[in-house]
């Protein structure tokens, strides 16, 4: 259990975070082996630059999408993947990410919303960040080193996920995707230009969808 301050700052509610650590390897393998890898959409594709639709049907089609997302993520050697990164206009992301203590987290979140952090928890980390939709490019980006994202699981149950360090960055990055933001949208014009130059000069190591 964890204490979370509400938006008014004068009331506390208990939050039970999901266990996304137990059997992480087996769960990721099961998702991935059921799925089919799809190519990754890259910056410039319209689906990446608009807010996605809410998930409203928690059915076999959603489960198949998540399987495909895990397969695609593994092919691209990523730690997180949003549905619009394989061209699907739905608010769902998957992750297979280590935190800064070397603990592996595996899961999926539908309709994610990040908590507003109290000032005391907003300790910024300016580590490098990259994105499968901006292949081969990296830039420093300051983000809080702690994050809580709330949403639903594949059955529609309410869930909350807590992350620290690198995993916190992953949760923020993937939630951003589903609201139409890439990490490069948070960079200065100069840094964004440098990232796009890095991308243009490289060759993706995984299949991508070419923009028209």
Residues annotated as part of the active site: 174
What's the token pair of residue 178?
């589903």
Secondary structure, 3-state, 111-140: EEEECCCCHHHCCEECCEEEECCEEEEEEE
The answer to whether 80 and 73 have CB atoms below 8 angstroms apart is yes
* The pairing of beta strand 208-209 with beta strand 40-41: parallel
Question: How far is residue 137's CA from residue 84's CA, in Å, rounded to a whole number?
Answer: 19
The answer to whether 156 and 104 have CB atoms below 8 angstroms apart is no
């Amino acid at each position: 259990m964890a204490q979370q301050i509400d938006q008014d700052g004068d009331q506390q509610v208990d939050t039970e975070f999901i266990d996304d650590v137990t059997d992480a390897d087996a769960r990721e393998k099961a998702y991935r082996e059921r799925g089919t890898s799809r190519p990754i959409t890259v910056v410039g594709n319209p689906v990446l630059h608009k807010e996605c639709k809410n998930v409203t049907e928690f059915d076999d089609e959603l489960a198949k999408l998540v399987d495909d997302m895990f397969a695609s993520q593994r092919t691209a050697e990523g730690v997180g993947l949003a549905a619009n990164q394989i061209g699907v206009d739905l608010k769902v992301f998957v992750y297979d990410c280590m935190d800064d203590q070397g603990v592996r987290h595996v899961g999926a979140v539908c309709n994610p919303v990040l908590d507003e952090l109290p000032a005391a928890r907003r300790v910024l980390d300016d580590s490098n960040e990259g994105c499968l939709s901006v292949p081969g490019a990296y830039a420093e980006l300051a983000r809080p080193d702690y994050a809580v994202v709330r949403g639903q699981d594949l059955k529609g149950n309410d869930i909350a996920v807590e992350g620290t360090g690198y995993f916190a960055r992953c949760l923020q990055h993937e939630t951003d995707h589903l609201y139409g933001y890439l990490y490069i949208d948070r960079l200065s014009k100069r840094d964004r230009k440098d990232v796009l130059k890095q991308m243009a000069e490289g060759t993706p190591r995984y299949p991508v969808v070419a923009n028209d």
